[in-house]
Structure 1
Amino acid sequence: MQEEGVNRFLGSLESMIMELMWESGEWLNVQQLRESLKSEHVYSVNTIMTVLNRLSDKGILDKLASGRGRNKLAQFKVVATRQDFIMQQTRNVTEGLIKDFGEVVVAHMIDVVEELDPDLLRKVEQMLHEAKMRNSDENFKPS
């Protein structure tokens, strides 16, 4: 959790690959990604393929395989935009923290928001008000 951005959810090579995938938005194969990564580090085809398969297994990438044997080619494409991925991951983390620690997490979130961004605190208050209104509207249904 000490990392920043997407690295909070993925390993460093996974993050680099995902950034390239989001930037492209196209189906890419392991060789194309390896070429794009060369400027930073030299990774083996096997290493990149392992990471791509892992991202596919996690449901973050779609995988399309064609051919057989030595002619087999796998291509990968992102399942969701970067923004949608971050929204889903932050929701998963928040949900898990609230399930595990409830009020303590909410209290810390309010404290941190108050310290870092008082304007956001006002937005949170508005969101809470709207959520209460939705809840009261749902609970009040004339018979």
Structure 2
Amino acid sequence: MWPFGTNLGDLERAVMDVLWDADGQLSVREVHESLAPDRDLAYTTVMTVLDRLSKKRVVTRVRDGRAWQYRPAGSREEMTAATMRTTFEALDTDDRKSAMLHFLDGASEHEIAEIQAALAEVTGQNKS
């Protein structure tokens, strides 16, 4: 379960994308090498970001000799859902409804169909 209210900065999100795309856990060096082609980052910067993400409980880490190995504490989808839930919970009931209506007003027909299918799945209407 993601910590509530976890917001990621641009670099933290880039690091998480590397970890989410990985097959297993990664060292600081491996994350740094994955980010290096796109960004001019110091190794120590990546190490600091991973340490911060660990303190936020967004990643887990285990010691491997002298180095740490990192992996996401959950999936992209879990983190997105937790962030959305936290945002909605901060609103009173009327504001939640209004925010949802504004969100849905901008959705395409296909997106609305996907939302309806997800609601049916959650409420048990799609049981086979």
Q: What is aligned with 1:31?
A: 29
| Contact persistence 1:25–1:78 (CA under 8 A) | no
Unaligned runs of 5+ in 2: 1-5, 124-128
Instruction: Give the distance between the partners of 1:46 and 1:91, measured in 2 at CA.
Output: 33
Aligned in 2, Cα 1:91/1:112: closer, same or farther, shift over 3 Å?
Answer: closer
Corresponding position of 2:99: 108
Measure, in 1, the Cα distance between the counterparts of 2:84 and 2:99: 16
Q: Distance in 2 between matches of 1:82 and 1:30?
A: 20
Which residue of 1 is the match for residue 49 of structure 2?
51
* Matched residue type, 1:50: T
Classify 1:21/1:115 alpha carbon distance in 2 versus 1 (closer, same or farther; 3 Å): closer
- Cα distance change on mapping 1:112 and 1:61 into 2, 3 Å: closer
1:113-132 alpha-carbon deviations (Å, 9 max, x no partner): 23534673993xx77xx6xx
Q: CA deviation at 1:107?
A: 2.0
Mapped to 1, the partners of 2:12 and 2:41 lie a distance apart of 12
Where does residue 135 of structure 1 map in the other structure?
Answer: none
Deviations 1:58-106 (A, max 9, x none): 1110011244xxxx2111111111112211221122112x2xx331232
Amino acid at match of 1:29: S
Which whole-Å CA distance do the structure 1 matches of 2:18 and 2:97 have between them? 35
Candidates 69, 75, 83, aligned match of 2:77: 83
Aligned length: 114
Q: Which has the higher helix share?
A: 1
Matched, 1:74 2:68: yes
Structure 1 unaligned runs (5+)?
Answer: 1-7, 131-143
Residue 41 of structure 1 aligns to which amino acid in structure 2? R
CA distance in 2, matches of 1:25, 1:82: 14
% same residue: 23
Runs of 4+ in 1 over 6 A off after TM superposition: none
TM-score, reference length from structure 2: 0.73
Structure showing greater Rg: 1
Provide closer, same or farther for how the CA distance between residues 59 and 80 of structure 1 changes in structure 2, counting only shifts above 3 A.
same
